[in-house]
Structure 1
Amino acid sequence: MQAAPSLPERLIAHLDMDAFYASVELLRYPELKGRAVVIGGRREHAPRTLADGTREYSLLRDYTGRGVVTTSTYAARDLGVFSAMGLMKAALRAPDAILLPTDFDSYRHYSRLFKAAVAEIAPVIEDRGIDEIYIDLTDVPGIREPVGHDPLGGAKAVAREIKNSVLKATGLTCSIGITPNKLLSKIASELEKPDGVTVLTMEDLETRIWPLAVRKVNGIGPKAAAKLAALGVETVGDIAGKTLPWLVENFGKSYGAWLHEASHGRDRRPVVTYSEPVSISRETTFERDLHAKQDRALLGRIFTQLCEQLAGDLSRKGYLSRTIGIKLRFEGFVTVTRDLTLDLPIADAAAIRHAAGLCLKRVDLSKRLRLLGVRAGNLSHPGDALRGRPARKAKPAAASETPEAESLSLFEDLPL
């Protein structure tokens, strides 16, 4: 007779909202429930309300441009449409899918709602983004109480309580994985999607984790997976079957050791309830390539808007920045960044735009632009004492350092 699983010392949950952006849109357009819906369009792809009160939706087949899928409903995923896929490619797989624009203000609103709902039950939360969190359930009341003959019943009951609270607060479903650590919980939350609960102990490692493909482990990317496959390693169990010296020999001391630990379900990372961001940024990809001279007015408006949005982000999160940077991606996918460190921290849009404009003048802008971004780094809170000597301002590059000196003046007509 198989022994009943025992609860580990730590109980960590990973909560992942189900198709979050798409699900928020379905709250607004409930008639699309069960349909293939793709999020990632522009404003003009918003539904049009007709005279009879019905809505007319844009279809993916009619999309032109180089946007990417932000997310998709599960019906669209069944047709092969996934996040980060080009919309034109997605249109070939699901031409009749509904295309909706993104609405990040709504997504942030519902993100705050679901996290607040969870915090009422389990306050030790690590924020991992707009639609996922880790939760330390170790000391939550009732978590270790068996239900009937199920020793894991208490953990499952707490998970259901969290899910019901999230549903009541948002109208949205989520999936939860509960295991002894963050690595396994991240995997577990995907096993019963959507609207699922999965509780695993180390006794489940061999039957539930080892048969999975290596990419299911957060931290094994495409390159590592390809190298593992070339070595005949396809599943997590295959990794676990390799010796530590073999993994170190093929993947290096650090990553090889991590593969060995991860494949055996070992992860000692704590749930971190707060961490300071390294930087805050805003960027946008253009629907068509833009030229600094021919599209000066349009670029100026976009540039100003990005700086205003970044200033709003800094204000909302309570930060000042001493380093302002820009990111530009040109035709041919060549990416260039420039930074400027100031003597004193700033947060207002005009100052950010001026500093970012100085960075722009250090870039050869003769080629067309695909992407423009503005970044605030070297963050501090208002009132913090400046530590150490102020960093020296970065000097603009001399004209001889760029292929075309004329390019340095292409943005001069933009109001800085």
Structure 2
Amino acid sequence: MNDGRRIAHLDMDAFYASVELLRYPELRGQPVVIGGGRNATPQQLPDGTQRFARLRDYVGRGVVTTSTYEARALGVFSAMGMMKAAALAPDAVLLPTDFDSYRHYSRLFKTAVRIFTDRIEDRGIDEIYIDLTDVSGDAAVIAENIKRAVNDATGLTCSICVAPNKLLAKIGSELDKPDGLTLLSHDDIETRIWPLGVRKINGIGPKATEKLVALGISTVGQLAAADLGVLQDTFGRTSAEWLARVSHGLDERAVVTSSEPVSISRETTFERDLHPVRDRPTLSKIFTDLCMRLAEDLERKGYHAQTIGIKLKFEDFQTVTRDATLPLPIAGGPDIRTAATTCLKRISLDKRLRLIGVRASTLVAREAANEGREIGQAELPFGEFQDD
């Protein structure tokens, strides 16, 4: 590759599902869907085998978190409604999500990559960008060594693309999945990128895709050949210029190796709508758990928070948020719960709930936080759900 920069995008293959297959290797080769609740936990039988839940038995309005490639071949993909997925693949195995395990394996694979370079941009639990420009050696050999290190550390496979920029690396990591290794240069754009649908470009969403299709533009190649004036009439000058650049594989963005989070949050959507009074014990447990997990997130990332907020979504899909800014930053679970409870008291709880979330913002690095004052350690009862 003679393009100057060497940027890699590494994407773990069907990450959540692959982690579950480490735990249940007997499910390899089968359609498996991740996203069930506690009822989907496998049952241990007297003979030592496991009894797995099936998608056909699911009742609720949850969505698919992810699925194995065998389930995807049946049309089941992430973010699909679970009931729709059950109609497509009724015999698929259903497993609950286990985000603690996924975060564990995420840390393992990212640590393995840091053996090669610390020029890494974290893009989420299962993907990263890697700047390999200053790493000596053949790009294919480096990428193969990274893939091997990730597999040795986790037992999982990943797909990686090395390209001149982040745009092409992101697209390329999807081209040869699973367990793919792809090298792209600007010379490959016409043959490998232009035939792809415009939706493959990160940043072109469903609405933009609809507008492009209405203009007769469905592939990246057609976008590259489009008249700039026509694009400007539909998208405006700035967006049209961006579309023209990315269709030719141009992207000057740097790999960002550090960034400060704006906020950290935890939320959960219930399997069924929960009543503020009749389901008070369940709500109390969920609320406390979210606050404690948020505290763990703050501890792991090294932050305290001066603003705590909550988010409620009711049965009619109305969403309400409330925030409380505190005199000093906090980080402990009980303190977060106390602050979140003060927010909760400012909301009229007269309808069933379908989602609850807790958020920490106005973040301060742990070293800079003033820990001399606490807003109260005693955990409050979830009494606000008593009012009908």
Aligned-residue offset at 1:205: 0.8
Amino acid of the residue matched to residue 183 of structure 2? Answer: V
Contact preservation (8 Å) 1:365, 1:410: no
Aligned-residue offset at 1:413: 5.5
| Aligned-partner Cα distance in 2 for 1:158–1:34 | 30
Name 1:321's counterpart in structure 2: 305
| Identical residues among aligned pairs (%) | 65
Counterparts of 1:256-271 in structure 2 under 5 Å? 256-271=240-255
Aligned-residue offset at 1:122: 2.8
Name 2:360's counterpart in structure 1: 376
Q: Using a 3 Å threshold, how does the CA distance of structure 1 residues 412 and 97 change in structure 2: closer, same or farther?
A: closer
* 2:102 pairs with 1:107: yes
Name 2:375's counterpart in structure 1: none
Name 2:283's counterpart in structure 1: 299
| Aligned-partner Cα distance in 1 for 2:288–2:43 | 29
**Selected match of 1:286 from 255, 266, 270:** 270
Name 2:324's counterpart in structure 1: 340
Name 1:197's counterpart in structure 2: 181
Amino acid of the residue matched to residue 75 of structure 1? Answer: E
**Selected match of 1:38 from 33, 39, 56:** 33
Amino acid of the residue matched to residue 280 of structure 1? Answer: I
Amino acid of the residue matched to residue 237 of structure 1? Answer: G
Contact preservation (8 Å) 1:292, 1:410: no
Aligned-residue offset at 1:293: 2.5
Counterparts of 1:198-213 in structure 2 under 5 Å? 198-213=182-197
* 2:5 pairs with 1:10: yes
* 2:279 pairs with 1:308: no
Amino acid of the residue matched to residue 67 of structure 2? Answer: S
| Aligned-partner Cα distance in 2 for 1:108–1:385 | 26
Name 1:224's counterpart in structure 2: 208
Find the residue that maps to 2:91 and give its secondary structure: coil
Flag structure 2 segments of 5+ consecutive residues without an equivalent. Answer: 371-381
**Structure 1 consecutive aligned stretches of length 4 or more whose deviation exceeds 4 Å:** none
| Aligned-partner Cα distance in 1 for 2:296–2:227 | 51
Tell which deviates more after alignment, 128-137 or 37-46: 37-46
Amino acid of the residue matched to residue 411 of structure 1? Answer: E
Find the residue that maps to 1:302 and give its secondary structure: helix
| Aligned-partner Cα distance in 2 for 1:339–1:258 | 36
Aligned-residue offset at 1:43: 2.1
Name 1:55's counterpart in structure 2: 50
Give me the TM-score of the superposition, normalised by structure 2.
0.94
**Selected match of 1:141 from 128, 136, 143:** 136
* 2:148 pairs with 1:164: yes
| Aligned-partner Cα distance in 1 for 2:152–2:252 | 33
User: CA-to-partner distance for each residue in 1:312-364, whole Å, 9 max, x for gaps?
Assistant: 11112111111111111111222111111122111112221122112112222
Amino acid of the residue matched to residue 236 of structure 2? Answer: G
Name 1:125's counterpart in structure 2: 120
Name 2:378's counterpart in structure 1: none
| Aligned-partner Cα distance in 2 for 1:116–1:353 | 32
| Aligned-partner Cα distance in 2 for 1:319–1:133 | 22
* 2:363 pairs with 1:411: no
Find the residue that maps to 1:310 and give its secondary structure: helix
> Size of the alignment, in residue pairs?
376
Counterparts of 1:167-182 in structure 2 under 5 Å? 167-182=151-166
* 2:89 pairs with 1:94: yes
Name 1:239's counterpart in structure 2: 223
User: CA-to-partner distance for each residue in 1:211-261, whole Å, 9 max, x for gaps?
Assistant: 100110010111110111111110111111123333222102322221111
Contact preservation (8 Å) 2:120, 2:131: yes
| Aligned-partner Cα distance in 2 for 1:138–1:223 | 35
Aligned-residue offset at 1:410: 7.1
Find the residue that maps to 1:293 and give its secondary structure: coil
Aligned-residue offset at 1:121: 1.7
Flag structure 1 segments of 5+ consecutive residues without an equivalent. Answer: 1-5, 143-153, 387-408
Contact preservation (8 Å) 1:293, 1:410: no
CA RMSD of aligned residues (A): 1.6
Find the residue that maps to 1:342 and give its secondary structure: strand
| Aligned-partner Cα distance in 2 for 1:242–1:339 | 47
Aligned-residue offset at 1:12: 0.3
Amino acid of the residue matched to residue 79 of structure 1? Answer: L
Find the residue that maps to 1:374 and give its secondary structure: strand
| Aligned-partner Cα distance in 2 for 1:338–1:253 | 38
